[in-house]
Amino acid sequence: MHHEKHPVVYPELDVPDGAAFLDQLEVEVGRSDEWQPAPNAAPFRAVVAAFNGTTFEGSGLHVCACVDDAFVGDPTPNTIMFAVMADRWGGETEQFEFVSAPQLNAAFARFRPLARAAARAVAVSCRIRYPKDARAKPLPPVTASRLNAFCRLANRSCLHPNDSRRFYRFVRHCHAHGLRLSGSRLAAEMVNRLMPEKLVRFLADRYEFGRSLLAGSDEWMD
């Protein structure tokens, strides 16, 4: 089956005729009271809809439905991917947040009736697959201990030079031990340790830059 070959990033649905489904979905969006058509800036066929209801806590919620052709040669290439996006998630005015699969799925639930209506109209069984958050392995004990110490001792309003030195020692530790720790994972770990979001954003950027530099990578260069 198609969905066994790749992780589900956004909600998706297999259909026998992607173009016919998108045509009908466009009709359903035009009929909706809570969704309205939005411009498609992509260089491929897509149905883009903006949410104008009142049940979403953030702002700028929209869904872009298109045929996912990333898996060339797949026996079931007509998979509709529903990319769920928003300008802001949740109720915060300023945030550094990693959108989770439950958040995406809850937002998509507002659009799901339109997808079901389009599927019924073209006689397709609406068996939507949903993304799931992968369970991240815990940090190694020494790495967790170093990160705990940094977060506990750091001046959170304005980093002290000693804080910077401790943080860069942490970066060197991760490099020296070949840890597969991404900047986004590190940011999530720091948020879990109640570090301020502005500081998390800055430190995650510095971490990725430092790891690239130590690895001799040129990804950080223009």
| HEC profile of 114-146 | HHHHHHHHCCCCCCCECCCCCCCCCCCHHHHHH
| Between residues 100 and 34, the one the model is more confident about | 34
Is the separation of the CB atoms in 154 and 168 below 8 Å?
no
Give 81's strand partners: 12, 66
**More confidently predicted of 219 and 118:** 118
Would strands 79-85 and 12-14 be described as parallel, antiparallel, or unpaired? antiparallel
Q: pTM for this structure?
A: 0.59
Determine the average pLDDT of the residues in 104-129: 94
Q: Are 101 and 133 in contact (CB under 8 A)?
A: yes
Say if residue 34's pLDDT is above 90. Answer: yes
d(CA 101, CA 84): 10
The DSSP element (H or E) to which 63 belongs, if any, is strand 62-67
Question: Among 208, 160, 213, 153, which residue's Cα sits nearest to residue 182?
Answer: 208
Phi/psi at 114 (5° precision)? -70, -40
Tell me the two tokens of residue 156: 């959170």
Question: CB–CB of 151/190 below 8 Å?
Answer: yes
What pLDDT sits at residue 150?
A: 95
Q: What value does the mean pLDDT of the chain take?
A: 85
Say if residues 119 and 23 touch (Cβ distance below 8 Å): no
Task: Report how far residue 48's alpha carbon sits from residue 36's, in angstroms, rounded to the nearest whole number.
Answer: 9
Place of tokens 């797949």: 74
Most confident stretch, 27-31, 104-108, 124-128: 27-31
Q: Give 3: exposed, middle or buried? Use CB within 10 Å, 0-12, 13-18, 19+.
A: middle
* CA pseudo-torsion sign 27, 28, 34, 35: negative
Residue with tokens 């956004």: 10
pLDDT band, residue 76 (cuts 50/70/90): low
For residue 12, the surrounding DSSP H or E stretch is strand 12-14
- Residues 118, 27: Cα–Cα separation, whole Å: 8
